Structures are given as structure tokens and as C-alpha cells.
Structure 1
């Protein structure tokens, strides 16, 4: 038995594993232990190996077998910067790009003496840059892009000995650009773009960097003139000084940059002409000097270069376009809109070059459209609106299948549109408005599979609308007013399920309205006025729940008015000048609807402006007489009761001292009530809320309709509630802001302001009533269980569409400045409306930057970080606040909660995600089957609450992202190789809401 005892002990207690890895492996193992590695990227880092040379991301020297390179880019790692790696004596390459490395960079980083390449871009590093970095005597590449470094660039940075690349893009540096950077004579690339530098000039010392190849100073708050010394940068290939406040002329010395490939000077205040000598820039491929105040003619020598992209839009260039521009063999982009250019376009434009994008809108060009624009078959956009072009649309454009966007409106074009042009398969926008074009819409339109916007109003088009139009399933807007279309509307048109606008007024259409009109579930505007339509109004029209513009006036429609129309909320409603008959639906028997039913002789109703329906049946004799007697008696009884009630109310309110004769009513919609009916209901029993600016009452009108009335505090008598931060005292301008904003905008996701009432010492705002109250009250109360995930998603999308309308479709744009869950109201179907515009502001129409306010507006937990210390008003502040609302919907938590300590909701979500994972963030009341969709919306919320405003998407993009949730996965952004376009190009030649 004793013989088997050692064997038994060895089985029960196996020997402990021994560490066989060398010292470098131990350093790396310590680094691994300090990191959070949710994807197990470092699972191959095993201490049982002799050396770490086979570990993931680690490379060793082939001869000495020591570590010289570590590359862990985009591996979702989190934790502090690994200063212990500097103990690797031969480490020359370190890349931790696109992870979540946090904390600050330690001053002891100088111990990595052999380091040549250091890439820490797209992390979460904070604090000041260590002044010891230049002590890395072998460092050639330093990329700290996309972190949160702040303060000044250390003056020791002028001592770098071998540095070739310095990139500090997208940080928070707030000093001026230091001149000592001009001492780093080895630099080949200097990129300081997108930092909130203090206003300053371009240091002339940068002209000493004679080895520099790339200089990017985009959006660095620069002013003054471009220094002549930049002309000494003979090796420069890329110069980007865009989005600053630079003024004065473009220095002639820039024509000496013989190696330059692209020059970007857009969005400044530069003046004068393009400098002479541009023909010296033989390697120039891209010149973008748009959105300045340049003048003169476009020089012919510029057009003789091998340009690929020429953007000179929004300047004051005059004269004609040089013919030589058409001879540029590589030109694929030409944007010259909003200048004062005249003459004709070169008739061989596009013949010798792969022209993709052409925009010459808002000039004074004349003559015909060059037939060679799509000679190479690559043209995607042709924008020529607001000129004097004449003649026919070239037949060659009907064969240009690469086209996606065509805008030829507001010219003098004539003749028939080429048959193939109607059916271009990739065009999503076709605008031919206000020309002299004629002929019919060709049946080939069935091939326009991608067409969303067909805008052909104010022409001379004739013939019937073809049945084939029903096959254009993507069509969202069909505007063909003021033409000569005839015949009936095709039955197939009801198949256009995406249709939002159908405007064919002032044509010669006839016949009956097609059956199936109820399938236009997304229709917002229906205008068929002044045609020859006949038959009945379909009953199904009452099912178009989002319709708010309906005009059938000036036709031959007959029969009764569908009762279902009473269920719709229409801003424009006109059935006048038809042949309608029968009794008017009760809701419309009011004076405010009089103009909607004029010139319909067969209509009758109990209103003065129509015949009395009862008068038509007086011949029924005695029975009718008895009915009249009973009705009259009933009316006398009702009048008596009402008289007694009013007398009693007047007696009860005798002490109120409200002089109703001094009230002034301003309405923004057709009203079915007066100010006196509102005033009589402002009892404390009807109060449904009290906020920073006043009390809110629920008022039930005699018609049965319910409205909400906000009574503002008198002057400076009430401080803000606890959920408001430094909004100050409630000023009278809150009333003006609310009225000015809501009085002029119309959108299904913006709360409707019916009217306002003012007196000397009191102001009232009358809104549509939201039965489900505010999102904040519902979400954070015991009724939060009513909000399942589909409902929360719908609320987020509705609110996003409302804010997108304010930012992108209002002219000028409107910034709400107090987006929060309490200002998102919910109707009976939990549809969301953005409300409370008391601190809303119009964005500066000049586009020269946001306007600084004298005091912070907003609420705790919702205020964007940059707004709190810059007081600058722009759309990015609203986007941050909306991101907080998304996080509320996902987490079910308040934006500020004692449980968070000194954090707010945004910081709590980020910290909890890093430490515990997404399951500890999502509201436990949500069904787990929606987890994937909830996570996608959570990512959108985090994107909106990015600490850097430039990283936040526009509201139009947020709507798109929300619409794509659940249907499309978004790939992670890969590291950019080379230079992409430094700005999102938005076509400023677009007018109205056409995208």
C-alpha cells in the first residue's frame, strides 16, 4: 500500500506550472494584466512560451530574438497607458490605435529611448502633453489624433531631433499655434486640424519647415493673412487651411509651390483674384477655394493644368468660363455655383475628361447644355439651376445611366424631354421646375427604379400621366403643378406607398379619383386644385393619418363630404368651388371653415353661410311642425341653462378682475374657439403641470376638443426649477421665442401652437393637448412599464425627425437649446412631439459660426460640455442633448441621479459599459429579445454625446441611423489610409427641402 501512496498524491495534487517565459515576456504579461480585453485578443500571450515572439501583435528581431514591435490597433482594449513597455530595451514600434487607452501620458515616457513610431490615435487619453516627449531622440512618427489632450503644446516640442510626422488632430488644445514648431526641421507632415485653438495667426516660422510635404491646419481658429513664407515649402504636396477666418489676398508666393498636388482654402474670407503664376503648379490636381470673397475672372492658365477637382463656388468670380477648362483630361469635379459667371459653357465640356460632378448653379450662364457632359459615361450629378440655359435637353443625357441627381430648374429650356431621360435607372432626384419644356411624360419612366423626387412644375407638359408611373415604387414626391396634364389620374398611382407629396394643381386632369387612395399612408400633402376632376371624394381619405395639406378646390367633385375627414388634423383644407352636396359634417359647421366650402350650392348645414337642411323638408307637414316646436322648446331650455351657468360663473369670477376686453388673440391655425372660452377654464382644478416658465392647464372646449394652455409668469417673479441650470430669470423673450418659432413651423413631430393670447400683465400659449404627457414624466414614473422597446424606439425616431426638421428644413435653422425628455410630449398613440421653444434660437444665417449667448440655457445632464464653457449656440448642442434622451430611453434612468455620484448619465453609461458590460446599462424592464436593436440605438446615443462636437452626426444623419436600426449592421470605421475629404460636402445650391 505504501508503494502506491506517492502515485496517489501526485494524482490528487499535481505540480504547479512553472513560468518559462523570458523577462520581456514578463513585462508584456504585466501589461496584459493591466488591460480589459473583452474580445480575448491577448489569449495567445501565454507565460509557458520561452519568448513572446509568437504572441499576437508582437514582432521580434530575426537575429537577436528581442521584441522590437508591438501593434495592437483596433482590438477593443481598455486601461491605462502601459509605461512598463519602456522596459523593453529595443522597442522601436508601438501602435495602440483605436482602443480605449485612458488616463494621461506619464512624463516617464521618455524612457522608451529607442522608440521611432508611436501611434496612440483614437483613444481616451486626457490631460496635458508631457514636455519630456522630445527626449525620445529617435522618434520619427507621433500620432495622438482623436484624444482629449488639452492645454498648450509644450514649448519643448521645438527640440524634436528626428520627428517627421506630428498629428494632433481632434483634441482640445486651446492655446495658439506655437511658432517654435517651425524649429522641427525634419518634419514632413504637420497636422493640427480641428482643435479649439485661441484665435491666432499662422506662424510665419512654419515657412522654415523646408522638408514639409503635408500641412493641415483645418478649423484651427486662424485669422489674418496667409504668410508669404509658406511659399518656401518647395516639397509641399498638400496644403489645407480650410474653415478658418483668414482674410486678405491669396499670396503670390503660393504659385511657387511646384510640388503641390492639392490646395484647400475653402470657407474663409479671402479676397482679391487668384494669384498669377498658377500655371507653375504643374502637379496641382485639386484646388478648393470655395466659400470666400474672391473676385475677378477664372484665369485661363488655371484651366490648362491637369486638374481633377476645381471648387470655386460661393465667391464673386465674373466673366465667362475659359474654353480651356474642357481640355483638362483628368477633371472629374467642377463646382462653380453661386458666382457671377456669364456666357456659355464650353460645348465639349466632358468630352476629354471623366466628369462626375458638375455644379454651375446660381450664375448667369446662357446657351445650350453641352451634349458631351456624359461622354465618358461616368457623370453622376448635373446641377445647373438658376441660370439662363436654353434649348433642348441633349438626347445624349437620356443614355447617361450613371446619373443619380439632375437639377435643371429655373432656366429657359424648351422642347420635349428625351424619352430615355425619364427612365434613367439610378436618378433619385429629377428637377426640371420652371422651364418651357413640353410633351408628355414618357412610358419609359417605369425604368426609373431609384427615383424619389420628380419635380417638374411650371412647364408646358401635356398628355396623360402614364400608368407606368405606378411602378416607380421609391417615389416620395411628385410635383407637376402648373402644366397641361389631362385625362384621369392612373389607377396604378395608388401603388406608390412611399408617396409623401402629390401636387398636380393647375392642370386639366379629369375623371374620378382612383380607388385605393387609403394606401397612401405616408402622404403629407395632396393638392389637386383647379383641375376638372369629378365623382365622389373617396371615404378612404379619412384614413390618411399624416395628411396635413388637402386642396381639392376648383374641380367638379360631387356627393357628400366623407365624415372621416373630421378625424384629420389639416393645416390647409379647401374643398371650395365644387359640386358637393348633402349635410356638412358637424365639426366643419363653424365660421372658421367657411372658405373651405364656398361655391358648393348643394351643401347645407346649420350655419349662416349655408342653406338650412331642415328648410328642404318643410313639406312634411304637421310632424315636422311638432319637431320644430320640441326643438325650439329644447333650445329655450338649453339657452336658459347656459344663461344661468354663465351668470353663475361671472358671479364666481367677479373678484378675478380680468378685463377680457383687453385681451389680444393671435392665431396660427383655423380656430374653433375664442380667447374668452380659454380664460373661463383657467381654474386651479385644471392645472396639470407647473414649470420654470409658468403653469399649464388642461382646457376642455365646448366642442369637446381638448387643448393645453400655458400661462406664463409675470415678468421676473419665478426662478427656474431644479432641473434647469442657470436659465436665469424667466424673461419676456421666452414668450416671443415660443411664438416666433412655433407660429411659423409645421411638422408632425413639432407640437402645434394653436394661438397666443396677450394682455398687459399676462400671456397665454394654447397648444394641442398631449394625453400621455411628457416622455420624462412617463418614463421615470411607475407607468414606465407602458413603454416597451418598440414604443421607445418610435419615440426616439419621432423626436429625431422633429429636431432634424428644425436643423435642416427651416430657413434659417433653429436650435432648440433645451432638448430633454420633459420637452418631448406624447399623444394618445405615443407619437412624439418636440415642445417648449422658450429658449430656442435661430442660427446665424451668415454661416460664420455659432452665436455666443450671455447665459446658459438647458437642463442638468443635457448640456453639451462645450456649451457650458463657450456659451455657443449651434445644432451640435441639441444633438448632444438628444443623445442623452436616447440614453434615458435605453437605460430608463434619469440624466442626473445621486446614485451616479459626481457623474451624469453619459459618464455613468460609458463607465458602466467599460467595467460591467452592456447588460448592466440596458433597462431591465425591456424584453431581452430586443437586445441587439437596443444596443444599436445605444451606440447612436453614445455617438450623439461625443465630447467633441465635430464627431457628433447631424440630426439628418441621426434619423437615417435610427431608420436603419435592425436592418443593417454598421461596420467599424477603419483607419484612414491617405487623406480623405476633410469636410462633408453639402450641396449649398439646393433650395428648399429638396435633398
Structure 2
């Protein structure tokens, strides 16, 4: 025992050393994270991370090099330098909060990408401490305030991207101090100063993008011509005026030059012919004048040239058309002369738009033979001769628009084999002969307009193959024969217009199968027989015109059960029998049954003076107004005379009593209604009620809605008709002089009356009449039983709206807006498109309402007009409208996109659950992080997922932050009609990666409708 004791004692120091080492190892494990990791922990704590994107940033790691979004590289001196953080990429991570300045503590950090987040507040001045930065991308965030001038103190910075934020003020003049900067991207902000000349000092710059900012009007600085390395110059919609400086001839490496949608003047300068690398010239919607210069042969790389919507004159140079162009757009100018034959030699041409000029002569005979032509629009010129056979030689032609010209001859047989055609408009030409049989049945055509020509022959039975056809216009020709039964197989047909032809035989019974048909116009043909049985199946029909034919039999009472019918003309036929009482169910804007053989008594609703011209030349009809059913004299004249005199006396007494009662009633109404005097009553159609009835119904018990402009009352009239009465709020003198949402623009009442009083469409709410008297203004509309889309969708009854119903509502509203934008002359911009302004009838059909801030956009302003103040509703206002006050149809399209997102998600555009995001940003964020299943309304059946995905794509296009990337409303209608076709979820997710590439401009199309 004595021998072992020293051994134990001697081992004690060793054991203590081991324990000490274990303790130190444990301590080192607790504090393993290096200094860079600690800095990044501070970054994490400064940001709100609802999606858990930074959940992998744990302090138990030795370094942050394996954390999400972090890239390390070896930096420093010595044989084994430690890895350092060189890149932080947190794009699309749904992060919120101020810019994390702790990033600047990372000594070797060269790349910061935090695009598509919710980084808010302003950029700190201390960002200049990030001395190693070469790449800074903070695009698509919520940054506001001025751009710090200290950014120029980043000596190594090569790329600065602040696109799609809310930055304001000037571009700092200090930016001219950058020495290595290659990309400066500030598009889609609120910058409202001027573009500094000092940017011309950044001779390293290759990419300068400042488009879509509300800069003060200013000229392009000549100093920008010093940017000799510049390849991409994008300054669309920047308030530019004056001419393009001659110094720009030095931009020898320029590939893209885009100054569209400005106020530039003068001729297009010949300096461009020195820029031999130019690929794209975008100069549309300016005020350029003069002739196109000579020298185009030098631009051998030019692929896209758009100088449309200017005031150019003269001829199109032959040398321009000899280039390998992909698209040439020169529409809405004053160009004249013939189109050069050389354009047919361009091997890449896919888009040629020359509409609304003064061009003449023939189209080149080989146009389309050597190029994959997709779009040809030469409408509104003076072209003549034959349509070239070669237009679809490459099988790519989708749009052929030749309206308002002098083309003659036959429709080429080659077009009958062009399977790619989708939109064909040949109206108002001098085309003759028969239409090729196969042409009627092209499978992808959705619009076929052959009206106002001298075409003849029959409609081929092959029309059954036109499965996508929605509009067929063949009026004012010499077509003959029977209307084929196969027309009834066109399930997508909405509009059939065949007036002023020589069609004979019976109306095909198959037409009653066209459930989508909205308009049937067969006026002035030689049709005979009866109206087909089962016509009540056409629930969408709003216009029925069968006048000037040889139709016979009785008017079917089924017509009275067409809920949307507002135009009925059966005049100049051989109809007999009585007028069906069921017609009283209709709310007609126009009724004409004249010149038939009708008999019996006129239904009570129509037995009024306002309808006296609706029943002329029907000798057998009896009614209360003069000239109808005259009484024959009989032998017992004295007895009848006595009876008549007695009746007259009694009637006179009753009339006096009635007048006294009305006067008494009128005085009481005046007292009750606070001085409402009906001294200016305007009717926009034939009415079955009086103004007195309307006034009586203005009672607080009848209120069905109230908004910023006034209250809405439900008025049940004596004949059972129900209307909606909107009483605008009274304004005092003080109110009238104060700032309002429309400022110096027209009074809301006048705007609504002017707009709705002159338009008629099945998807626009009908204004029946109005009253303006002093401070009281009343508007009387058709009544919509299901109220507004917004109220229904966001209430407990939202479950009533299944996906097919929502899709139909979206399509109805889109067609209403398309009518305003494309079919009204001049166009009308609604300016307050929202779900509460989309009303639903008893069948959930949708109609656009509330035109109090609508604006008629005059052609002289080229579709863009500056408002004096913002109009619209929170959550629906387009970004550019909110800061530029420039209004055109693109603002409505953005608002409609928000409505689509409401239908898809079931969420309001302004919702606390969205946080600081608007609905469009929230949808994109969710798509990127969690996919489409976390976006769509859970009440929608999963069986419709493909259709929902397609509509989601459409909504994202409509809500693009760049107006130029939004499709036209006409295109939106077409896409919604096609929404049942196959789509993939990934497409929707990809659409959220919003691009600022100016090459993408699919929204421009012909303005001729």
C-alpha cells in the first residue's frame, strides 16, 4: 500500500491538465462562431424573417460559410488563410426591415443581393463603409427617400441595382465619381429631379437604365455622349424633351437605345448610322418629325426598330427594309408612298406594324416568303392591289390586319392553309370572289372580320373546324345561300354579325346551342321561316336584330326570358299574332316591331307614348296612342256617343282630382326630400316610370349602399320594376372650392352622365336616367340583385362563388373594360376599377359601374393624359399613376389585375394579414417561397387548378410594375377565354421574377378597332 500512494499522487497533475483541456474545449465549443458569424447574427436580429429564411444561421457553427445565402472564399495572408464571407445572397427571402448596416463590418464582402424583399426605410449614408462591394442589388424592395450620395465612395462598385423601389429626389451628382461602375439601374422609382450631366464621367458604364421615373422635363445632356463603353441605354418615360445630342454619335458600342414615351422632338438624327452595333432602336410615342434619314445600310446588326406614334413623314427608305429586321413598327405617323419591295428580303422579320399612315401602292409580292412573319398590320392606309400569297409561307402568321385600305381581288388560297392564324381583320376593302372553303374553318382563329367588302358565295360547312372563333363579322357583302347548321357547333362564338347580305332559307335551329352568344345581327337578308324554338337558351344574348327579312309566324314568348337582352329589332318582317306579354320582362334600350302583321292589344308596359315608334305599320294592333287600331263607326252612334260623353265627363273629373292630388303630393315630397325639385330630368332610354316615383323611393329604409360619392337606394316601382338610385352627396360652396379627388376635372355627376349616357354594352351597367337640380343629383341605374363583387366575395357568402363563377365574372368585367379601351372612340379610361365597382346580376353576370372619375382620352394626347390629382382606390392604383399622374388604359389593366388576384386568393387588396405588402407583392412572395397552393383561395376546388394557374399568370402580367409589360385589355379577354388550356404551376412562379428588360414589349398592338 505504501508503494501505490506516490503513484496516485504523481498522476494528479496529469489528470488536472486533462480536465483543464476538456473544460477549455467545452468553453471553445460554446464560443465557436467567428467574428464574421457574430456580425451576421446581428444582421439576422435586425430583420423580420416570417418565412424562416435565416433559420440555418446558428451560432454553433465555427464559421457562417454553410449558412443559407452565404458564400466564403479564402482571404488574407499566410499559407492557410481562413475563409471569409465574400457574398450574401438573400434574394426573394421575404425579409423586412431597414438595410442591415452590420453587413459592412464584413471586411471582404463584395456581393450583396437582397432583391425582391421588403427592405424599407431609406438607405443609410454609412453604406459607404462597405468598401469591398463590387455588386449591390436591392431591387424590388420598399426603399424610400433620397439616394445617398455616399454610394459613390464605394471604390470597387461595378453594379448598382435599385430598380422598383420608392426612391425620390435627384440622382446624386456625385455618381460621376464612380470609376469602375458598369451597371446603373434605377428604373421604376419616384425620382423627380433631372438626369445629371455628371453621369457622363462614368466612362466605364455599360448599362444605364433610368426608365419610368417622373423626372422633371429636361433635355438629354450632351455629356452622356462620353459613355463610350455604353451598350444599353434605357430612358423610357423619363420626361425627356428637345432633340438627341449629336455627341451620342460617340456611343459606338451601343446595342439598345430606348427613349420611348418621352417628348423628344426634331428629326430622327442620322448620327445613329455611325452606331454599327445597334440592335434595337425604341423611339415610339415621342414627337419626332420629318423624314426618315438615309444611311440605314450601315446598321447591319439592327433587328428591332419602333418609331411609331410620332409625326414622321415621307417614304420608308428602301435600305431600311433591306436589313435583317425582326420587327419594324412605324404606325401612327404620316408616312406616305409605297412600301419598298426590299422588305420582303428581310430574313428574320416577324412583326411589321405600319397602321395609321398614308402609305399606298401594293404590298411586296414576296412579303413573308423569306421571313417568319407573325404579325402584319397595315390598317388605315391606302394600300391597293392583291393580298400577297406568301404572307404565311413560313407558317408563323398569327395576326393579319388590313382594315381600311383598298385591297382587291380574292382572299389568297394560301391563307386557307395558314393554321397559325388567330386574328384576321380584312374589313373595309374591295375584296371580291368566294372565300376559300378551308379559310372558314381555321382552328386557331378567334376573330374573323370580313365586313364591308364585295365577297360572295356561301359560308362553307368547314366552319365547324373554327373551334376558337368568338367573333364573326361578315356584314355588308354579297354572301348568299343558307346559314350552315355547323355554325351552331362554334361553342365560343360571342358575336355573329351578318347584316346586309343575301342569306336565305331558315335561321338554323342549331344557333340556340351557342350559350356564349351575345350578339346576333342578321339585319337585311332574305331569311324566311320562324324564329327557332329554344331561343331562351341564349342566356348571354344582349342584342337580337332580325329586321328586314321575310320571317313569319308568331314572335315567341321565349324572347321575353332572355335576361340580358337590351336591343330587340324584328321590324320589316311578316310576323303575325299578338305581342307576347313576356316581353315586359325585358329591360330594353331599344325595341322595334314596326312593319309586320301583328294584331291584338299592345302590352301595358309598352302602351305608352315613349314606345309609339316601336309599333308603326301594324294595322291590327290596338293601343292607347294615336294612329293605332282606329274605331269603326256603327249604327248605334248616338248610344255610343252618349256613353263616350259620360266617360269623358267622368274622366275629366278624375283628371282634376288627380292633378290636385299630384300637386299636394309634389309639395309634400319637396318638404320630405329637402328641396329636391325635378326641373332637369334626362332619360337615356324609354322608361316605364316617372320621376315622381323615383323621388318617393328615396327613403333611409331603402338604402342598400353608401360610399364616398353618395348613397344608393333600392327603388321598387309601381309596375314591379326594380331600379337602383344613386343620390350624390350635396356639396356646400366651401366644399366645391376645396381640393377633391378630381380637382379641376369635371364634376363626378357630369362625367358619369357623359360617359354612361353615350355607351351601351352588356358588361357596362345601364344608366336609365338622371336628375340634376341645384345641389341634388340623382342617377338611376338598372338594379343588380347580387350587389358588388367585393361585398359578396369578402363576406360570409363568398362560398357561393365557385371557380367557374369567378372565371365568368372575370371575363365579363374584362370584356366591359375592353369595350371602353378599344371600341369607344375616343377611348375611355375608368380610373377606379375595383371589386366594389363590379356589380353582379341575378345570374352572377358582371357589369362595370361607377364612372364618376372616368376619363375620355383624346387621340391628340396619344392615349396618355396627365391628371391634376390621383383618382382611384387604395390597393388598386397602378404604381406609375401614383407618382406621375399620367393616365392611360394601362392603369386600368393594373387595377383589373388586382381584381383577378382578389378572385384567386379571396383576400382584399388592403389586408392586415398581408403585412406591409400590397396584394401583388404578397402573391409573388408566397409563390417564390411556398408555391401556388399557399396563394389560391382554399375554398376553390383543386380540380380547377390548371385553369386557376393560367388566370394567375394573367393577373401577374396585368400587375407588372412596368406599364409597357402589361397586355392590352383585348389580349386579356382572349387569354381568359383560353384559360382552360394546359398550363404549369412553374410558369406562374416564374412570372414573379419581374424583368426590367426593355426588349419585352408585347402589349403594343393596333389601335384600330
State the match for 2:939 in structure 1: 929
Q: Which residue of 1 aligns with 2:826?
A: 812
Tell me: CA distance 1:445–1:874, structure 2 relative to 1, closer, same or farther (3 Å).
Answer: closer
Equivalent residue in structure 2 for 1:572, among 590, 594, 608: 590
Is the contact made by 1:119 and 1:142 (CA closer than 8 Å) also made in structure 2?
yes
The 5-angstrom pairing of residues 181-220 of structure 1 reads 181-220=199-238
Task: Give 1:490 deviation, angstroms.
Answer: 2.2
Residue of structure 2 aligned with 1:790, choices 801, 807, 812: 801
Alignment partner, residue 847 of structure 1: 861
Aligned with 2:149 (options 128, 131, 154): 131
Q: 1:885 to 1:502 in 2, by over 3 A?
A: closer
1:743 matched to 2:757? The reply is yes
Q: Deviations over 1:453-497 (max 9, x none)?
A: 211111111111222222222222221111111222223222222
Among residues 231, 243, 248, which one is paired with 2:249 in the alignment? 231
- 2:70 pairs, out of 49, 58, 80, with 58
More contact order relative to length (CA 8 Å, sep ≥ 6): 2
CA change 1:53–1:982 in 2 (3 A) is same
Is this contact kept in 2: 1:431–1:455, CA < 8 A? yes
Counterpart CA distance in 2 for 1:975 and 1:917 is 10
Choose which of 657, 660, 664 in structure 2 pairs with 1:647: 660
Counterpart Cα distance in 2 of 1:345 and 1:282: 24
Give the corresponding residue for 1:383. Answer: 401
Q: Is 1:535 paired with 2:553?
A: yes
Partner of 2:283: 265
Question: 1:210 and 1:866, CA in 2 relative to 1: closer, same or farther beyond 3 A?
Answer: closer
TM-score (norm 1): 0.83
Is the 1:906–1:945 contact (alpha carbons within 8 Å) kept by the matching residues of 2? no
Q: Give 2:527's aligned residue.
A: 509
- Cα pair 2:965 2:1001 within 8 Å, conserved: no
Shift of 1:758: 6.0
* Structure 1 pair 916–527 and aligned structure 2 pair: CA distance change class (3 A): closer
Tell me, yes or no, if the aligned pair for 1:606 and 1:612 is still in contact at 8 Å: no
When the two chains are superposed, the root-mean-square deviation of aligned CA atoms in Å is: 4.8
2-structure distance, mates of 1:490, 1:599:
28
1:222 to 224, 240, 245: 240
| Higher mean C-alpha deviation, range 450-459 or range 114-123 | 114-123
Task: Select the residue among 661, 665, 668 that pairs with 2:684.
Answer: 668
Deviation at 1:448, TM superposition (A): 1.5
Q: Which of the residues 25, 35, 38 maps onto 2:37?
A: 25
Give the structure 2 partner of residue 767 of structure 1: 780
1:110 alignment counterpart: 128
Aligned residue runs from structure 1 range 612-691, under 5 A? 644=657, 646-651=659-664, 663=679, 665-674=681-690
Residue 10 of structure 1 corresponds to none
- In the aligned structure 2, how far is the partner of 1:549 from the partner of 1:751? 15
SS at match of 1:132: helix
In structure 2, distance between residues paired with 1:309 and 1:732:
41
Would the alpha carbon gap of residues 229 and 789 (structure 1) be closer, same or farther in structure 2, given more than 3 Å must change?
farther
1:961-980 residue pairs with structure 2 within 5 A? 970-973=988-991, 975=993, 979=997
Match of 2:991, SS? coil
Cα distance in 2 for residues equivalent to 1:986 and 1:910 = 23
Deviations 1:944-967 (A, max 9, x none): 899987788876688789989999
Change (3 A) 1:767 1:751: farther
**Residues 809 and 317 of structure 1: CA distance in aligned 2, closer, same or farther (over 3 Å):** closer
Within a 5 Å distance, the mapping from 1:290-301 to structure 2 comes to 290-301=308-319
Which residue does 1:120 correspond to in 2? 138
> What is aligned with 2:1001?
983
Alpha-carbon distance between aligned partners in 2 of 1:976 and 1:409, rounded to the nearest angstrom: 38
Of 94, 98, 101, 2:119 maps to 101
Alpha-carbon distance between aligned partners in 2 of 1:309 and 1:909, rounded to the nearest angstrom: 36
Kindly report which structure 2 residues correspond to 1:940-959, keeping only aligned pairs within 5 A, or say none.
Answer: none
Structure 2 CA distance for aligned equivalents of residues 286 and 660 of structure 1: 62
Conserved? CA contact 2:433–2:457, under 8 Å: yes
Aligned-partner Cα distance in 2 for 1:119–1:821? 36
Residue 447 of structure 2: aligned partner: 429
Q: Secondary structure at the match of 1:150?
A: strand
1:146 and 2:164 aligned: yes
2:180 pairs with 1:168: no
- Aligned partners of 2:789, 2:437: CA distance in 1, in Å? 55
Residue matched to 1:526: 544
- Would you say the 8 A contact 2:309–2:862 is kept in 1? no
Deviation sequence 1:918-941 (CA, Å, 0-9, x none): 9xxxxxxx9963599999999999
Moved more, 980-989 or 196-205: 980-989
* 1:784–1:938 distance in 2 versus 1, CA, 3 Å: farther
Partner-residue secondary structure (3-state), 2:768 = strand
The alpha carbon displacement at 1:513 in A equals 2.4
> Could you report, residue by residue, the CA deviation over 1:421-460 in whole angstroms, capped at 9, with x for unpaired residues?
1111111111111111111111111222222221111111
Distance, in Å, in 1 between the alignment partners of 2:540 and 2:617 is: 30
Please say if residues 770 and 826 of structure 1, whose CA atoms lie closer than 8 Å, have aligned partners that are also in contact: no
Give the Cα separation in 2 of the matches to 1:100 and 1:87.
22
User: Given the alignment of the two structures, is residue 346 of structure 1 paired with residue 364 of structure 2, yes or no?
Assistant: yes
Aligned to 1:368: 386
Deviation by residue 1:185-225 (Cα, 9 ceiling, x = unmatched): 10111111111111111111111011111111111110000
3-state DSSP of counterpart to 1:565: helix
The farther-off stretch of 139-148 and 736-745 is 736-745
5+ long unaligned stretches in structure 1 = 1-13, 919-925
Offset at residue 102 of structure 1 (A)? 2.6
CA contact (8 A) 2:924 2:989 kept: no
Which residue matches 1:9? none
Once the two structures are superposed, the pairs formed by residues 448-597 of structure 1 within 5 Å of their partners are: 448-597=466-615
Instruction: List gaps (5 residues or longer) in structure 2.
Output: 1-25, 75-79, 929-935
- Indicate the larger mover: 40-49 or 675-684: 675-684
CA offset at residue 276 of structure 1? 2.0
State the shift of 1:591 in Å: 2.6
Q: Are the equivalent residues in 2 in contact too, given 1:490–1:514 (CA < 8 A)?
A: yes
Check conservation: 1:714, 1:762, Cα contact below 8 A: yes
After TM superposition, list the pairs within 5 Å mapping 1:242-321 onto structure 2: 242-321=260-339
Cα 1:136–1:960 change in 2 (3 A) is farther
